[in-house]
């Protein structure tokens, strides 16, 4: 059976050149970067080379990069590191309703410690307005954390405008760039951010490696204590293999980003056009133009997202839905709900996120297997019947 992987926002395969790099560290370069001997020096060299690559890719200085275990840890380190270090200045945090749980859950936990959190709403396209950020700022605000691009709907946020506001008020600004980095240009000075989170497994590096950018000179405190690694900012023996892999993946992303984004945009737009033209009761979620090049998200009315996913999986297509399994029940995505999408429509959402190995044939295959699935699932829905002449009188508001 043909297999089509359309779930690159969940994770990406490891790039063969990255895997090759990792083998070098499994076989030969195994030293501890803190050791003074040859083996240690080789490992240190690899770590610092990778740091240079990450820093250059985002317009930062190497000493502003800390390696972490991934996006979640980077988000946590940025948020807690800022608020604990700046407690004497204030206790107010601003974030948005569409952040990843790595941000939202940490902010909510901080409320229990006496911090106050403003969770900004978004518009129907999933955009945070800079005006709402400006309105939320008060003299106790110490941190603004707004993601660069959303993982569920792909909307790209006006980070630079928010950054300008934050800078004017002297408030530290973090952005979660886990989904945007490697797909669209990310430059810390242009975006005017003080902290930026990156994750390796979204850019063809392995899981369990990431990075946090911390602008030089900002007030921030480490979250854990231990050895002197990462200039005492993130203690623990470095994940040398993961770090080298991240460096290689970043190098490849920088080289290929513009051509790859243009290629994926064409594939993405073909999917959008075909779906929007050929189906009734379907919505494109996220911003129509300010969206990631590889990202689409639709809501199909009268469809259960999980059933859609399973049916696609049986045909070899791997995608994801707008529901998350929380304690055994399927909750509609908090992002779609924040955009004002009714829960029953949010349940029928499908996220397709494309990547380097996808091509036109994959898109054709998906577009070929989808119609009978939608037809079958809708036929099972008691609420759905095809729009017909009766519809003006049937009283079923869902039809229209
Ligand atoms: N932030 C965003 C926007 C994400 O999409 C993800 C992962 O899906 C994370 C953070 C967490 O990253 P990691 O899986 O590397 O911990």
- Residue 342 — very low, low, confident or very high, per pLDDT cuts 50/70/90? very high
What's the pLDDT at 398? 47
* 31-45 confidence digits (pLDDT tens): 999 999 999 999 999
How high is the mean pLDDT of the chain?
94
| 330 backbone dihedrals φ, ψ, rounded to 5° | -85, 110
Cα 381 to Cα 46, 80, 229, 299, 301: the distances in Å are 56, 46, 57, 15, 10
Nearest to 127 by CA among 290, 299, 282, 313: 290
**Residues acting as catalytic residues:** 325
| Ligand 1, atom nearest to 74 Cα | 16
Mutating to test ligand 1, I would choose from 68, 96, 100 the residue with most ligand atoms within 8 A of its C-beta, which is 100
- Rounded Cα distance between 400 and 170, Å, is 49
pLDDT at 338 over 60: yes
C-alpha 394 – ligand 1 centre gap (Å): 45
Nearest to 92 by CA among 133, 149, 34, 50: 133
C-alpha 140 – ligand 1 centre gap (Å): 28
- Residue 383 — very low, low, confident or very high, per pLDDT cuts 50/70/90? confident
What's the pLDDT at 329? 60
Averaged pLDDT, 172-190: 98
Nearest CA to ligand 1 atom 14: 71
| Ligand 1, atom nearest to 201 Cα | 15
Pocket residues: Cβ below 6 A from ligand 1? 70-72, 75, 100, 102, 147, 151, 176, 178-179, 199, 201, 210
What's the pLDDT at 192? 98
* 46-103 confidence digits (pLDDT tens): 999 999 999 999 999 999 999 999 999 999 999 999 999 999 999 999 999 999 999 9
C-alpha 145 – ligand 1 centre gap (Å): 14
Cα 75 to Cα 28, 37, 120, 210, 214: the distances in Å are 33, 34, 18, 10, 11
The set of residues, in sequence order, having a beta carbon less than 8 Å from that of 301 and lying 6+ positions away, is 281, 282, 344, 345, 348, 384, 398
Percent of the chain with pLDDT over 90: 91
- Residue 381 — very low, low, confident or very high, per pLDDT cuts 50/70/90? confident
Nearest to 188 by CA among 11, 62, 86: 62
* 241-259 confidence digits (pLDDT tens): 999 999 999 999 999 999 9
Q: What is the reported pTM?
A: 0.95
């Amino acid at each position: 059976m043909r297999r089509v992987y359309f779930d690159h926002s969940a994770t990406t395969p490891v790039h063969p050149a990255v895997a090759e790099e990792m083998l070098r560290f499994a076989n030969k370069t195994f030293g501890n970067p803190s050791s003074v001997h040859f083996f240690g020096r080789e490992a240190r060299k690899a770590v610092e080379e990778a740091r240079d690559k990450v820093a250059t890719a985002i317009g930062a200085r190497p000493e502003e990069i800390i390696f972490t275990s991934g996006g979640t840890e980077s988000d946590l380190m940025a948020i807690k590191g800022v608020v604990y270090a700046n407690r004497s200045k204030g206790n107010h945090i601003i974030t948005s309703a569409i952040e990843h749980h790595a941000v939202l859950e940490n902010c909510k936990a901080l409320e229990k410690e006496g911090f106050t959190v403003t969770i900004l709403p978004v518009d129907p396209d999933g955009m945070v307005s800079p005006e709402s950020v400006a309105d939320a700022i008060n003299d106790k605000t110490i941190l603004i954390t707004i993601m660069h691009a959303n993982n569920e709907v792909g909307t790209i946020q006006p980070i630079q405008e928010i950054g300008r506001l934050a800078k004017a008020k002297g408030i530290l600004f973090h952005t979660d760039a886990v989904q945007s980095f490697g797909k669209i240009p990310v430059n810390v000075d242009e975006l005017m951010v003080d902290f930026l989170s990156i994750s390796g497994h979204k850019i063809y590096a392995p899981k369990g490696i990431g990075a946090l950018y911390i602008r030089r000179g900002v007030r921030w405190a480490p979250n854990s204590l231990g050895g002197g690694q990462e200039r005492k900012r993130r203690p623990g023996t470095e994940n040398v293999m993961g770090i080298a892999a991240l460096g290689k993946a970043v190098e490849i992303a920088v080289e290929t980003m513009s051509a790859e984004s243009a290629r994926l945009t064409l594939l993405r737009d073909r999917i959008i056009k075909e779906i929007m033209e050929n189906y009734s009761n379907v919505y494109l979620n996220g911003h129509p133009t300010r969206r990631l090049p590889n990202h689409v998200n639709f809501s199909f009315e009268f469809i259960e997202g999980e059933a859609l996913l399973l049916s696609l999986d049986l045909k070899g297509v791997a995608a994801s839905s707008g529901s998350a399994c929380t304690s055994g029940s399927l909750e509609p995505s908090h992002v779609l709900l924040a955009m004002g999408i009714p829960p029953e429509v949010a349940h029928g959402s499908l996220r397709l996120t494309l990547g380097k190995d996808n091509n036109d044939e994959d898109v054709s295959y998906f577009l070929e297997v989808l119609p009978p699935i939608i037809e079958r699932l809708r036929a099972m829905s008691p609420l759905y019947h095809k729009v017909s002449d009766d519809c003006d009188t049937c009283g079923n508001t869902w039809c229209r």
